[in-house]
Structure 1
Amino acid sequence: MASKLSNEELKKIFDNFDNNGNGKLSYSEIESTVLRTYPEFSSRKKVIMRAYKQADASKNGYIEIGEFGIFLDALNHFYELYEIFQKIDKDQDGRINFDDFKKGRKVLKLIDLSEVELKAEFDKIDLNHGGLILFDEFCNYAIKRNIAAQVH
């Protein structure tokens, strides 16, 4: 996405996000601009936050022009992962339980696993051992397995 934009195009988009003109984007500026431009993200704020955190390479709490392309690419990538997450999260409660995971095994290309192997895979993803896979946990797993590329 962003990798296909010229520096001039990227700067123009960045300036649209930079509401106060200080040359750096706070999370608030990013969230408000994304939600204004793409209202469908109102139920996907986790995606915006995840992309923001990934793009903030300097860890200064802002996205600067050099990080902005990373942000746009991450926003697109995490949106795709959220769509996959939603396909598996059958009751749409923002969490994947083991039953959801079993039913979503085809989406994850895990159809050859036995139930015991599937449970072990679920437990590997459930980093906090809460019995549920949260979006952040799913993202960590999906990135390691390159899930978005396999599904599309």
Structure 2
Amino acid sequence: MSPWTHHPKNIDKGCRKPLTSAPPPSEEQLNKIFNRYDTNGDGHLSWEELKSAYSILGMSFPGLRALKALCVADENRDGYISQKEFIKLTRKKYGK
């Protein structure tokens, strides 16, 4: 590999935009995402389901990420993220 490969001047200016500039997902898309990871179909995402989702997505430290998600999104402190809480969190992330 060339020593100049990672030099800032060699970075491709035509690379894709960051994900944050993508349009926010629709409510239908959010419902599909939620239902995909709500494996027991109870209408809530548990720590185990969140951990599994982060693991499936290939994220590092899925257990810690799941705990953080619960701390941020679980407004009623029942230990789960409801579909309503999930949608609210996602919309907040996109500034909607």
- Give the TM interval when normalised to the shorter protein: 0.5 to 0.7
- Any unmatched runs of 5+ in structure 2? 1-19
> Letter of the aligned partner of 1:24 in structure 2?
H
Q: Does the CA-based 8 Å contact 2:30-2:87 persist in structure 1?
A: yes
Alpha-carbon separation, structure 2, partners of 1:28 and 1:44: 10
Q: Secondary structure at the match of 1:32?
A: helix
What do the CA deviations read for 1:81-128 (whole angstroms, capped 9, x no partner)? xxxxxxxxxxxxxxxxxxxxxxxxxxxxxxxxxxxxxxxxxxxxxxxx
User: Which stretch of the first structure deviates more once superposed, 62-71 or 44-53?
Assistant: 44-53
Alignment of 1:4-15 (within 5 A): 4-15=24-35
Per the normalisation by structure 2, the TM-score is 0.61
Structure 1 residue runs of 5 or longer lacking an equivalent are 77-152
Contact 1:51–1:71 (Cα < 8 Å) also in 2: no
Alignment RMSD: 2.5
**Deviation, structure 1 residue 12:** 0.2
- Pairs aligned (count): 72
Select which of 51, 68, 76 maps to 1:58. Answer: 76
**What's the TM-score once normalised by structure 1's chain length?**
0.41
Counterparts of 1:1-152 in structure 2, within 5 Å, are 4-36=24-56, 38-39=57-58, 41-43=59-61, 45-72=63-90
d(CA) in 2 for partners of 1:61 and 1:53?
9
Q: Deviations over 1:30-67 (max 9, x none)?
A: 1112211x22x233542331122110001111110111
Considering Cα pairs closer than 8 Å and 6+ residues apart, tell me whether 1 or 2 has the greater RCO.
Answer: 2
8 Å CA contact 2:37–2:50 kept in 1: the answer is yes
Q: Partners in 1 of 2:36 and 2:29 — Cα distance?
A: 11
Distance (whole Å) between structure 2 residues aligned to residue 11 and residue 21 of structure 1? 12
Q: Percent identity?
A: 32
Structure number having the greater helix percentage: 1
Residue identity in the other structure for 1:42: S
